[in-house]
Amino acid sequence: MSEAKLSKKEIQKIANLSKLNLSEEELKKYTKELNEIVQYMNLLNEVDTEGVEPMFNVHGHKTLVVADDPLDPIKIESLQKIFPKSLDGYIKIPQVVKKEKK
């Protein structure tokens, strides 16, 4: 199997698409590191996986699916007992985040 290698030009293109400004030193470093990752992935591609069942997670747990049913709406009267102040039909609560003075 031929090994794919990423050139500095390709790494620069990826960096530009990612809006990253890489120095020449960073470009060399990431070219080396990404080529090591590609080399490792090529090694993994050579592993014989014939007859191996696909895994969806390492724990063997099943995903719990719960119906997305809406809850009963909160009645405005019960909220007005907790927050008695209102403004134009909206519940008025105390200020939580204070603005910084400049």
Within 1-102, strands assigned E span 86-87, 90-91
> Can you give the pLDDT of all 102 residues of the chain as single tens digits?
456 789 999 999 999 999 999 999 999 999 999 999 999 999 988 999 999 888 877 887 777 888 888 777 777 778 778 887 877 778 888 888 877 776
Which pLDDT score is estimated for 18? 94
Q: Where are the domains of the chain?
A: 8-45
**Cα(18)–Cα(21) distance, rounded to whole angstroms?**
9
